[in-house]
A and B are shown apart, each in its own frame.
Chain A
Amino acid sequence: MKRNVSSTTIMAFHFLRSLLHLNSYGGGGGGGVSPLRRSLRIRQAAYTSMAVAAGPRRAWSTALLRRLSPRRPHHRRAAPLRRNKIRVLGEVRRGVDDGDAALRKVVPGGDRLDCCSLLEETASYIEFLSMQVELMQRISSRSACIDLVRSF
């Protein structure tokens, strides 16, 4: 699979940087930021760094970035889109139901994919999700330890 050193590193780098910005400039810009809003932003940062690390070649990363930061200039996806629509329509016409509907809802950008690429994208999505979760667990445990030590 594609779990190589670089994507983990890229993801960690991006996520930590965004965390730093949130912490240092969020507190400076506004008076006090509620933890709820901060957690929302951290979550957005997590997904963004995931999508960035995955690269533009993944459908889910493109869809995720598009969802998270709508200010990006729109770039057209390549040709497959039309083919996929036709294929999806064809499946609906034939009454073929793979039960992929729920999966499409969960995976970002899944509604445009055909069943085969959907499974592929799901695999990649799961991979990067688990990487992100592991990274955040490491960070949180480290910060928790340090905070604990500091409070004494």
Chain B
Amino acid sequence: MEPARSGAGSGKSGTYTPEIAETLRFEEEIQSLMGTTLIHHGFECSPPANAGGSSFTALLGLPPSQAVELLHDPESGTSRSIAAGFRLADPKSLQLPLVCSPTFPSNATLVERAARFSVFAAAEESPEASSAAVPSISGGDHSPKPKSEPQDSDSPLPIEKQQQRPAKRKEAERSSKAKAPAKKSKSVAGGDDGSPGKPDGEKLPYVHVRARRGQATDSHSLAERARREKINARMKLLQELVPGCSKISGTALVLDEIINHVQLLQRQVELLSMRLAAVNPRIDFTGLDNLFSAESGRVTVAGNGLSWMDGGSNAVMRRNPHGELQEMWHVDLLMPHHHHQQQTPGWERDDSQQQQHHVFISNSSSCSPPGTSLFGYDSAASAALPQLSNQLKSEL
């Protein structure tokens, strides 16, 4: 009985006014049904959670796919499936840092109620209107009982506001509390009201995110909160990157672990460089192709790039034995469809010649480190490497 949550929730203001009364009635019904029970979704729903919790932007800090998946579930149909979906989503959401976890109870319950309400509403009104109305109803979080009262007063406000401006909202907004003036527009492409299940890349350029109840709504704190959540998202990524870091809770310890890991890697580089220096005055490149076998992917070659690379390496190999060791070697290869020309001029480029490729030869042994080369492409190298390996072998 899921209403067709199609496209833009275009305002049909005429149909909204009976909708509002309906929504109010249903809101109270739901409130009475819920009563004092806290709905457990495997989280700790603490009453002061909202005061300390972060807004729904926590979900936005997630990779968009996760946020969409969490909200995708309601589209599956009945509220039961939604609840099941959220229970499935629980392990996923648990991975968020603890700061963000308080949002989830409200999100889960809210979308559940959204779905439930959509079930009610679909019987009454047109699907489009209900889809716009649903989010507004779910604006109240019923998980902690003390808040249910003020929510009723809050919900009429957002209902009207949301129905009047349906086109600008991401479905994520449904789950956050409504304080009317509290908005923050983010530069994330937002979906709209009518399509909660659609992925994030919907039409609109920015997202209105509402502040949660009990939190300051001035722009400063909103901005800070968004920033904090961005940082938390990055920290999560880092935690995944560093082995053994996901168990650690607490930013300071995680940071320490990250720093330790970086220092460990740097020490490994030093160690290996000493080992390489000691082991072989002459590196044998016979097995070079095996080294690259795991790395060489597709062999599609940008034609001019490869030919240039070929010529360049040939020139290098031929010139080196002559002992011209005082030149700088800049290998500047560009994949035309990868890099704009503007990105490279500052990187390594002889501006006097406006061509894309330059070849110089550097002396790597005397004073400077081996020439700074830049490859801006991803295919020519893989094909050129076996050739280079052959040439290197011939050099030896």
Residues of chain A touching chain B, judged by Cβ–Cβ distance below 8 Å, are 1, 4-6, 8-10, 12-14, 16-30, 35-36, 38-49, 51-53, 55-57, 65, 68-69, 71-72, 75-76, 98-100, 102-103, 106-107, 115-116, 119-120, 122-123, 125-127, 129-130, 132-133, 136-140, 142-144, 146-147
Contacts and interface: CB of A to CB of B under 8 A. Distances in A.
Given A20-B392, A39-B273, A45-B370, 10 more contacts: A6-B377, A19-B283, A23-B282, A29-B366, A44-B370, A106-B263, A120-B234, A122-B258, A136-B269, A136-B273
Given A39-B277, A136-B276, A123 B234 contact: yes
Interface in B38-53: none
A126 B349 CA distance: 28
Contacts of A43: 269-270, 273
Interface of B: 227, 230-231, 234-235, 237-238, 241-242, 251-252, 255-256, 258-259, 261-263, 265-266, 268-270, 272-288, 291-292, 295-298, 320, 325, 328, 343-348, 362-366, 368-379, 381-382, 384-385, 388, 392, 395-396
Contacts of A140: 272, 275-276, 279
Contact of B291 (A30, A76, A127, A142): A142
B276 A39 contact: yes
B351 to A, nearest CB: 9
Contacts of B366: 29
Nearest to B325: A25
A142 B284 CA distance: 9
Nearest to A132: B269
B80 to A, nearest CB: 37
Contacts of A8: 295
B385 A42 contact: no
A119 B235 contact: yes
Contact of A126 (B241, B279, B345): B241
Contact of A24 (B284, B372, B395): B395
A35 B274 contact: yes
**Majority DSSP secondary structure for residues of A touching B:** helix
A5 B382 contact: yes
Query: Which 4 pairs between the two chains have the least Cβ-Cβ distance?
Result: A18-B370, A6-B378, A75-B346, A5-B297
B53 to A, nearest CB: 20
Contacts of B268: 133
Contacts of B346: 56, 75-76
A5 to B, nearest CB: 4
B276 A103 contact: no
B390 to A, nearest CB: 13
B162 to A, nearest CB: 31
28 contacts: A5-B378, A10-B375, A14-B370, A14-B373, A14-B375, A17-B370, A18-B369, A19-B276, A23-B280, A24-B395, A29-B325, A29-B366, A30-B365, A35-B278, A36-B277, A38-B277, A39-B270, A40-B273, A51-B372, A52-B373, A65-B372, A69-B369, A103-B259, A123-B238, A129-B269, A136-B269, A143-B284, A147-B279
Contacts of B282: 23-24
Contacts of A51: 372
A17 B382 CA distance: 14
B395 A119 contact: no
Contacts of A10: 375, 381
Contacts of B376: 55
B250 to A, nearest CB: 11
Contacts of B344: 56
Contacts of A53: 375
B248 to A, nearest CB: 14
Nearest to A33: B365
Contact of B347 (A1, A22, A29, A56): A56
A109 B131 CA distance: 49
Contact of B296 (A9, A24, A38, A100): A9
